[in-house]
């Protein structure tokens, strides 16, 4: 697009190499350090000459390993459990957000109904609400208001089935965290899916309706398959937020529903700055997003441009 006469000079390539080093360097540094012992990280020896060890990963994953790692006194980290929680919460909340969000986006694009403008404007406005603002009310509501009395019918049944003490509240459950993540991600998903649904030709939907399909059949059988690229982009962004979020999860989770970011922040506590283990847990948390980036960068870029430019 620029002048074809313009040769790509060596300086230009140097800039590119520098950019690549800057953007990928820290990640590689973390990767390398996660295979070092703390002594190697702290001592001044140069970065590349060291004995790689998987000890940090063993420490992190001690609760899911089939053998007992040698130098550990006891298993403190329980990374495996947190990873499972993160997976459950991120996957379920992503799936729910997509289904609910695409339905809402469809309604906003294809139907005229009372309150449409209000809904649309509200969606736009709540997109900017920072998680920190939700912290206080969500903490209060999830712990005190959104509860089932334990002597009640359903609350009692839940306590009988799953055990535990006190009233049955949303806080401390996977459901509680999933609900807030779905709500937080909905505005964004509705927003970017609208621009994809607009592009679906109406004639296809009408043809299906003539064949006798109801509105839900039309939506699930005709519209959804056509907006797959949009769904993929939305899914990645929703997953990313649900997977990476720390603040609300830390206010809502208890010892059994801790997610990985909480575990990492907790593990940076003042008495244990064990760099090797911290880097290993960070690396494990970063692996899913890195995989997405490598295999779905096209969808990510589509999603970003759809979310911003078409807005």
Partner 1 sequence: MLTSRLNRLSPYMFMAPAAVIMAIALIYPLGYMIWGSFRDWDPSQTIGEAEFVGLKNYITLWGDPNFHESLGVTLRFAFICVIVEMIIGVGLALLLDRDIRGMSLLRTMFILPMMIAPVVVGLMWRYMYHPTVGTFNRTLEWLGLPDVDWLGQHALMSVIIADIWQWTPFIFILSLAALQSLPRSALEAARIDGATAWQQILYIKLPLMMPVLIVTALLRLIDAFKVLEVILVLTEGGPGLSTEILALRISRTATEFRELGVAAAMSNYLLILLMLLTVAMIGFTKWQEARAAKLRMANEEDS
Partner 2 sequence: MLSKLKTTALASLLMTGTAMANPYADYEGTTLVVNFPAHPHYNAVMQILPEFTKETGIEVEVDQLPYLKMRERQTLELGQDEGEYDLIAYVVFSKADYVYADQLENLAKYFMNPKLSDPAYDSDDLIDGYVYNIGFAGGNKGYLEGKTGSLFGIPYGSETSVLGYRKDIFEKHGLDVPETYDDLLELACQIPELEPGMGGVASRAASGHHASHAFLLHLAPLGGRIFDDAWNPTMNSAEGVAAAEALKKIVDCGPEGATNFGFGEALGAFLSGDTAMFLDTTVVSGQTLDPKRAAPEVLGNVGWALHPMGTRRGSQTGGFGIGIPANAENKEAAFLLMQWLTSKQGDKLVALAGGNPSRFSTHEDAEVNAKFPHMATFGEALKHADPDWRPIIPVWGKINADLGTTLSKVLTEDLDIQEALDGVAERTRAVMEEAGYYTWQ
CA distance 148 to 166: 10
Stretch that binds partner 2, among 35-43, 85-93, 199-207, 227-235 (CB under 8 A): 35-43
3-state secondary structure of 30: helix
Is residue 199 near partner 2 by the rule CB under 8 A? Answer: no
70 binds partner 2 (CB under 8 A): no
Nearest to 246 by CA among 92, 131, 148, 168: 131
The alpha carbon of 285 is separated from its chain's Cα centroid by a whole number of angstroms, namely 11
For residues 140 to 159, the per-residue mask of contacts with partner 2, x marking binding by CB under 8 A and - elsewhere, is ---x------x---------
Residue 103's binding partner among partner 2, partner 1, none (Cβ under 5 to 8 angstroms by kind) is: partner 1
74 binds partner 2 (CB under 8 A): yes
User: Using only C-alpha atoms, what is the Rg of the chain?
Assistant: 24
* # chain residues binding partner 2, by CB under 8 A: 25
Segment interacting with partner 2, rule: CB under 8 A, options 37-45, 128-136, 241-249, 298-306: 37-45
Least distance to partner 1, CB of residue 70, Å: 25
Nearest CB to partner 1, comparing residues 138 and 235: 138
Among partner 1, partner 2, none, the one that 179 touches (CB under a kind-dependent 5 to 8 A) is partner 1
Partner in contact with 174, chosen from partner 2, partner 1, none, beta carbon below 5 to 8 Å by kind? none
CB of 161 to partner 2, least distance (A): 17
**Using N-to-C axis directions, what is the helix angle for 131-140 and 174-197, rounded to 10°?**
140
Rounded Cα distance, 96 and 98, in Å: 5
Partner whose binding site includes residue 255, from partner 2, partner 1, none (CB under 5 to 8 Å by kind): partner 2
Q: Residue 206 binds which one of partner 2, partner 1, none, with CB within 5 to 8 A depending on kind?
A: none
What is the 8-class DSSP label of residue 142? I
Please name the residue that has the structure tokens 């909905």. Answer: 186
**Nearest to 197, CA basis, from 119, 116, 108, 275:** 108
User: Interior CA angle at 179 toward 174 and 181, to 5°?
Assistant: 95
Which CB, 76 or 183, lies closer to partner 2? Answer: 76
CA dist., res. 109 & res. 9, Å (int): 49
Closer residue to partner 2, CB minimum distance, 170 or 193: 170
């Amino acid at each position: 697009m620029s002048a074809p006469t313009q040769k790509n000079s060596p300086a230009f390539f140097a800039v590119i190499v520098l950019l690549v080093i800057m953007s990928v360097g820290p990640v590689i540094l973390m990767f390398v350090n996660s295979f070092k012992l703390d002594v190697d990280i702290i001592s001044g020896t140069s970065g590349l000459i060291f004995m790689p060890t998987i000890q940090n990963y063993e420490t992190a994953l001690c609760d899911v390993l089939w053998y007992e790692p040698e130098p550990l006194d006891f298993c403190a980290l329980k990374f495996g459990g947190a990873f499972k929680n993160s997976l459950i919460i991120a996957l379920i909340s992503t799936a729910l957000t997509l289904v609910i969000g695409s339905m809402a986006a469809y309604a906003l694009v294809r139907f005229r109904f009372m309150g449409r403008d209000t809904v649309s404007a509200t969606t736009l406005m709540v997109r900017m609400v920072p998680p920190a603002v939700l912290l206080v009310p969500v903490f209060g509501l999830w712990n005190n208001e959104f509860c089932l009395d334990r002597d009640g019918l359903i609350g009692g049944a839940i306590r009988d089935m799953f055990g535990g003490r006190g009233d049955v509240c949303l806080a401390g459950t996977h459901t509680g965290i999933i609900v807030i993540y779905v709500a937080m991600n909905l505005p964004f998903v509705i927003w970017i899916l609208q621009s994809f649904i607009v592009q679906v030709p109406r004639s296809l939907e009408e043809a299906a309706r003539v064949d006798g399909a109801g509105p839900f059949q039309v939506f699930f059988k005709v519209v959804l398959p056509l907006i797959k690229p949009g769904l993929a982009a939305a899914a990645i962004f929703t997953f990313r937020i649900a997977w990476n979020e720390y603040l609300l999860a830390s206010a809502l989770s208890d010892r059994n529903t801790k997610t990985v970011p909480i575990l990492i922040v907790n593990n940076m506590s003042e008495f244990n700055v064990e760099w090797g283990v911290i880097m290993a847990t960070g690396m494990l948390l970063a692996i899913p997003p890195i995989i997405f980036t490598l295999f779905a960068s096209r969808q990510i870029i589509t999603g970003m441009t759809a979310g911003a430019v078409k807005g």
